[in-house]
Structure formats: structure tokens, C-alpha cells
Amino acid sequence: MNETWRQAVHLLAGTAIAVSVLVFPQEVTVPFYAAGLLVGSVLTDAVERGLRLPLVSPLLDLLEREDAGPGRGAFYFVVATLGCLVLFDPFQAAIGVFVLALLDSVSTVAGRRLGRHRLFNGKSIEGFLVGALVTAGVLVVVLPPVTAVVAAIAAGIVELVSPVDDNLVIPPAVCLVLFCMG
């Protein structure tokens, strides 16, 4: 598994999901991602039972971490997307999903390359800072500066200290910040 490739796919797929949430109405995206969860669950179960599936198994071999269940991160990503689509407006949901894609990818790559000061779960202050700064810098294009900074820092803190998979908790945390800040 190559972590840089993994994070590039995370960023590109997450950005595509965020764009789809903005472009298509909820009447389309909610059933689409719900169907994706069903198909993904079937494929994950098949792989966990030892089946080698064309396209799926080679992708998992290339992109999945050794200690993770097959497709678990992608599954959680879609669960969080659906949750945000149901609980928040599409713009907030899209921003939450995009922040997950961007911040998680940037902080992971920066932390692995630059990280010298480990904090929680092997994550570094350098990864946190680079991830939050890059995310805030991108978010100011679509959000007021203060909201962009608060959302990026909140996402960075959640990514840093969450005891559960960050794919589950970053999008709703960002959506909640956006909701609270108007």
C-alpha cells in the first residue's frame, strides 16, 4: 500500500462526492449513495470471505492499509455523506465532505513527511497545522474567512483526537460548525 496514492484517491474521490452533492438534488444523491452502501457492503462481505473480485481486490491491494478492514474507510465516508445529506443542507453537506477529503489527505501526507512531534494516535502537530492551514486557505474561496478558519480548525482537532474513524466524524463536525455559524 502506497500512502501517497491512497491519499490522492481519498482527495479525488471525496472531492467528486462533494461536487455531486452540490450539483445533483438530494432526491438523486441520497438513493445513489444508499445504493452505493448496499453494493459496497456486498463487495466487502465477499472480500472478507476470501473471494478475489476483479477490479475490487486489486484496488484494495493497492490502496487499503494493512490493519484496516477491506473498504471500511470508503464505507464510513459514504455513511457520513448520507448522514450530512439528511441532517444538513446540501451546501453544508458538500463542505463537510470536501473538508474530510482535503484535510485528511493533506494532514496525513504532511504528518508522515514532516511530522516530528507526535500527539495522539501517532498523529503529529505538523500534520494538524498543515492540514488546517491548507483547508482554511481553500475554504475562504467559498466561506467567510472566520467561518473557514473555525471549520478547518474544528476538523483538524476532530481528526487529531477522535477515537473513532475520522471519516465518520469530520463531515458532521464541519456541518455542525457551519450550521452554528449561520
**What's at 81, amino acid-wise?**
T
63-116: per-residue pLDDT in tens?
676 777 777 888 899 999 999 999 999 999 999 999 999 999 999 999 888 878
What Cα–Cα distance (Å) separates residue 3 from each residue in 113, 121, 139, 142? Answer: 11, 17, 25, 29
CB proximity list for 1: less than 8 A, separation 6 or greater: 61, 62, 63, 64, 65, 66
Whole-prediction pTM value? 0.90
36-59: per-residue pLDDT in tens?
999 989 988 888 888 898 887 777
Which has more pLDDT, 60 or 17? Answer: 17
Q: Give the domain ranges of the chain.
A: 3-180
Give the pLDDT confidence score for residue 107 in this predicted structure. 94
Reply yes or no on whether the pLDDT at 178 is more than 80: yes
CA 67, 70, 73, 76 torsion-angle sign = negative
